[in-house]
Amino acid sequence: MHVYDLIVHSLTYFQRDKQDRRRLICAVATEPLPKQVEESKMDAPKEIFLKDYKLPDYYFDSVDLTFLLGDEKTIVSSKITVLPRVEGSSSPLVLDGADLKLLSVKVNGEELKNGDYHLESRHLTILSPPSGKFTLEIVTEIYPQKNTSLEGLYKSSGNFCTQCEAEGFRKITYYQDRPDIMAKYTVRIEADKSLYPVLLSNGNLLEQGDLEGGKHYVLWEDPFKKPCYLFALVAGQLESRDDMFVTRSGRNVSLRIWTPAQDVPKTAHAMYSLKAAMKWDEDVFGLEYDLDLFNIVAVPDFDMGAMENKSLNIFNSKLVLASPETASDADYAAILRVIGHEYFHNWTGNRVTCRDWFQLSLKEGLTVFRDQEFSSDMGSRTVKRISDVSRLRISQFPQDAGPMAHPVQPHSYIKMDNFYTVTVYQKGAEAVRMYKTLLGSQGFRKGMDLYFKRHDGQAVTCEDFFAAMRDANDADFANFLQWYSQAGTPLVKVTSSYDAEAHTFTLKFSQEVPPTPGQPVKEPMFIPVVLGLLDTSGKDMPLSSVYHDGALKSIASGSQPAYSTILRVTKVRAHR
């Protein structure tokens, strides 16, 4: 996520699912919401299915937001440019909302009356929108200081903060709260200057100034389309460590890490990690940062671990702050990894995002793989791989073998928050790693380049990523997508024999995927196996040819010997 759920921890790498995370907020008020925004009755849980996905009837082109932050209440005004997906369509426009007090609704500047819209506890429906492009203006009243859900906009320890992934934006204003609605945002924030001297949101800072009554304002613009789950706002008493990064094209990017004043000295390693991540993404994937400013906010009472909001990453302090007196090597490594993870989302998650939440591993599995590669290049690749595999076996294998087993791309959910699991993250990363194993570093880079060329600025699917890898390399991946649709850990058995006279070494593979809840019958998986031989002294032996898929294939390339090859196990039983 956006949020790096897998390493929300105190000073360890212990992983836990989102529902099991210990709440870090200690200072949020617990009074009930005012009566006017109480829901009369909670909607019954409803199972959502991947097969039922439908394109939205309307898209949003631009969103202008104004926040009047107050101690008792906050007024949120939105102005949205709405486009029908099908020209001439005027079907009802259904907006999501929760814990909101609606003050007014306007279409093309005219205020709607009660008969023009229908308001429920979780939805606002515009009954007969104009048939073409139109402007929708909505004003809501919210109560961040009483928001104990820690979703949407809430206030804690004197600071305003947001968390909108997965479905928190609907607690800020009425909106189509789904990731395939991508729009350009402009955000104006007004607040008391003495109480909230720092006012942050996504994108570049356009202007700021003082207002009457001891207040001030800022205006932020994000020129790149994004889904609402990446919206962020922070306001409060913070100070920053400032630095600069020069991109490979020569642009200067201002870097700021914001914390309470006493914590600024502990952000040096985080700033080093950010700059290292920016340089690594340019060198390895050719991906350059795209704005003039990159902000990180680290506060002690952010519940989610870390969140990759466009240009305004928000972290729990434990994943940013470090000093030699109190931090271990593992703490420094965790900060490097998580800072990198959230930064890498700028392209794998933000510039190219998920069509729907069933595609969560499209951004999270891919970005975990990228942070693993980053940490490997910054340290010991062997040690990092051992650590990742150990964590996979300790945390993900039991999930795959238990009653909560689910595919990397689940087929249904009741509550979206339950999707943030080691299977979606860690097993999803292993699926991405298999692409690289099959294609090599150059082939994988070709696939990534095509993926961004095709889908920059779009909300896409795991199948789109698969197609980019396949098409960029003219590759046959057979039944590879089973890794996304099928739960369970494959069991692979290998027997071998050596014919001394013929100088042939034979391997026999068989695979089995145990039944899991909802999937009693399993299909064979696509399993790449890297094969090499060692002599009696432990040295690599050159390989000449391999009998694979019914044909004898040469391995050596010209005069250069080959010491390994990749076998593709795609059936229940195979001989190599």
Contact 346, 282 (CB under 8 A): no
CATH classification at residue 511: 2.60.40.1840
CA nearest to 187, candidates 16, 62, 36: 62
Q: Does one domain contain both 465 and 497? A: no
Q: Domain end: 485, 516, 535, which one?
A: 485
3-state secondary structure 40-72: CCCCCCCCEEHHHCCCCCEEEEEEEEEEECCCC
Q: Does one domain contain both 66 and 81? A: yes
Residue 43, pLDDT score: 61
- Beta strand spans in 324-440 (E): 353-354, 412-413
Strand (E) or helix (H) holding 221: strand 215-227
Could you read off the pLDDT of 413-441 as tens digits, one per residue?
998 888 899 999 999 999 999 999 999 99
Residue 84, pLDDT score: 97
Catalytic option among 167, 342, 364, 430 = 342
Query: In which domain, by residue range, is 498 found?
Result: 491-575
Residue 527 counted as domain residue: yes
- Per the listing, tokens 């990397």 go with 408
Q: Does one domain contain both 418 and 538? A: no
The stretches in the chain having pLDDT less than 70 are 1-43, 576
Q: Does one domain contain both 542 and 401? A: no
Q: Does one domain contain both 548 and 471? A: no
Q: How far apart are CA 313 and CA 333, in angstroms?
A: 19
Residue 439 counted as domain residue: yes
Q: For the chain, how far is it from start to end, CA to CA, in angstroms?
A: 40
Q: How far apart are CA 430 and CA 357, in angstroms?
A: 19
Concerning whether 342 is annotated as a catalytic residue, the answer is: yes
Residue 401 counted as domain residue: yes
Number of domains in the chain: 3
Task: Please tell me the pTM assigned to this model.
Answer: 0.92
Whether the upstream peptide bond of residue 166 has omega within 30° of 0, thus cis, is: yes
Q: How far apart are CA 339 and CA 281, in angstroms?
A: 13
Q: Does one domain contain both 393 and 528? A: no
CATH classification at residue 358: 1.10.390.10
CA nearest to 430, candidates 475, 393, 473: 393
Q: Domain end: 182, 213, 233, which one?
A: 233
Residue 34, pLDDT score: 38
Residue 11 counted as domain residue: no
Q: Domain end: 185, 213, 233, which one?
A: 233
Q: Does one domain contain both 476 and 502? A: no
Residue 207 counted as domain residue: yes
Q: Does one domain contain both 135 and 68? A: yes
Phi, psi of 452 (to 5 degrees): -70, -35
Residue 341 counted as domain residue: no
Q: Does one domain contain both 403 and 387? A: yes
Take residue 289 and report the two structure tokens written for it. Answer: 């940062």
Q: Does one domain contain both 185 and 61? A: yes
